[in-house]
Amino acid sequence: MKNISEYILFLGLSYLTRLIGLNLSRRFSFFIAFLFYYFIPIRKKTVLENLTNAFPEYSERKIKKIAFDSYKSFSIALVEILYMPYMDKDEIKKIVFCSNPDVITKRFNEKNGVILLSAHYGNWEYCAASVSVQVNIPFKVIVKSQRNPYVTQWLNRARTKWINEVVPLGISIRQIYKELKEKSIVAMVADQRGPAEGMRVNFFGRKVSIYPGPAILSLKTNAPIIYGINVRQQNFQYKTFLYEINRDNLPQNEDEKIVELSQRHASYLEKVIRENPGQWLWMHKLWKY
């Protein structure tokens, strides 16, 4: 019953974004951020701890400003995702300006599988939906199921409205491996914290656990790793620059290769975050162990 009630509320909010329009919904998102930062502080302590760890040189005032900006960014992304079912193909295509889509098409036309990484930055859902339409190649999007199955189904319908397909995160890595061997483009977010016993890389000057999957898959299938992150502009449009992670001069040892390649894509993510930290979602406890 709880799931159904939540889903009805979710549908109502989605319909409200359609009723008042996307532009007004985005501006209303400021109040959502204000509510969850000041009155219902969801994970606020974690956000402030993460930012203090990442930017020890920043003042408390600057840390709090970035934290609130992060809540605003998430709130904007939320209303934009709620509005996705009402967008047509031309709208989703134009919402993101990708300056170098040929990075994907060149690699794909070489008959390689491609690993497309993104992060919880700006609007990650728009990245996969828009860029795939722009290059006219479907992406196999690896998705994590939400706690509420009805919301998961709704999100997956929105994700597959145009040309993409979804692949549940819980499936065997062999299925993802199979998709890459069949020369598909596999898209996934790559900024989740890994397990306690997982591989460690340097991130903002500290060791953090991350999942080695992208590096392992790249090395086993020869699929390039391309990072695409949506950066929100003042006018609420997005810009994406596709960056291929360098796989040259890796160590000879297989385990060391995985660590080095993982470090390279983590370092690129850090670089992008440092340029505009308020657009990244700082709500997951990065340095938990």
CA 38 to chain centre: 25
Report whether 69 contacts 279 (CB < 8 A).
Answer: yes
Q: DSSP assignment, residue 86?
A: G
Domain boundaries, position 40: 2-279
**Residue 86: inside a domain:** yes
**Residue 289: inside a domain:** no
Q: In this predicted model, what pLDDT tens digit does every residue of 49-61 receive, in sequence order?
A: 999 999 999 999 9
**Residue 167: inside a domain:** yes
pLDDT at position 169: 74
283 three-class SS: coil
Average pLDDT over residues 255-276: 97
Query: Which value, to the nearest 10 degrees, does the dihedral of the CA atoms of residues 169, 166, 91, 21 take?
Result: -60
**Residue 286: inside a domain:** no
Q: Which residues contact 152 (CB under 8 A, 6 or more apart)?
A: 145, 146
CA 254, 255, 257, 261 dihedral sign is positive
Report whether 222 contacts 150 (CB < 8 A).
Answer: no
**Residue 15: inside a domain:** yes
Residue (of 91, 103, 105) closest to 161 by Cα position? 91
Query: Which value, to the nearest 10 degrees, does the dihedral of the CA atoms of residues 8, 10, 12, 16 take?
Result: 180
Phi, psi values for residue 146, rounded to 5°: -80, 165
**Residue 287: inside a domain:** no
pLDDT at position 170: 67
Q: Say how many domains are in the chain.
A: 1
**Residue 70: inside a domain:** yes
pLDDT at position 171: 62
Report whether 262 contacts 152 (CB < 8 A).
Answer: no
Q: In this predicted model, what pLDDT tens digit does every residue of 121-149 receive, in sequence order?
A: 999 999 999 999 999 999 999 998 888 99
pLDDT at position 128: 94
Q: How far apart are CA 276 and CA 273, in angstroms?
A: 5
Given pLDDT bands bounded at 50, 70 and 90, which one contains residue 174? confident
pLDDT at position 259: 97
Q: In this predicted model, what pLDDT tens digit does every residue of 100-110 receive, in sequence order?
A: 999 999 999 99
Report whether 101 contacts 134 (CB < 8 A).
Answer: yes
**Residue 267: inside a domain:** yes
